[in-house]
Amino acid sequence: MKALGRQAEPFLRAELRRGPSPEVNFRVEQLLKELPPADQSILSGEQARALRMLETLERSGTPAARQLLETLVADAPDPSLRQGARAALERLAKRAAVAPESIHR
């Protein structure tokens, strides 16, 4: 869990909300205390590449890029990648709703 860093935080907090045993609660709290501050999180090379990929797909906004983002939302093994793809799709949908149709052609 420590190796995941900030990526593990949502899952650790979800575990606390479930009301675990005192031992599990103690260990989860310890892991949360050991996480680096949010502003000091460092992306691994793989995380940085995934982030750049999501940004590139979002910027292109093509039907193929949207399809790939949808596939990532459904099938990506990494929760942060699924979340990033979902957020990119939401931003694309907002832009499409605001932008004139001629921009998308």
- Burial grade of 17 (CB within 10 A; 0-12, 13-18, 19 or more): exposed
Structure tokens at 14: 């979800």
Q: Do 56 and 26 share a domain, yes or no?
A: no
Does residue 40 surpass a pLDDT of 60? no
Which pLDDT tens digit goes with each residue over 45-77? 788 898 899 999 999 999 999 999 999 999 988
Q: Do 76 and 92 share a domain, yes or no?
A: yes
Which pLDDT tens digit goes with each residue over 84-95? 999 999 999 998
User: Per the structure, how many domains does the chain have?
Assistant: 2
pLDDT number for residue 42:
65
- Burial grade of 104 (CB within 10 A; 0-12, 13-18, 19 or more): exposed
Parent domain of 89: 45-99
CB 92 within 8 A of CB 66: yes
Least confident interval from 10-19, 27-36, 84-93, 95-104: 95-104
Instruction: Kindly report the pTM of this predicted structure.
Output: 0.56
Q: Do 95 and 53 share a domain, yes or no?
A: yes
Structure tokens at 63: 């039907």
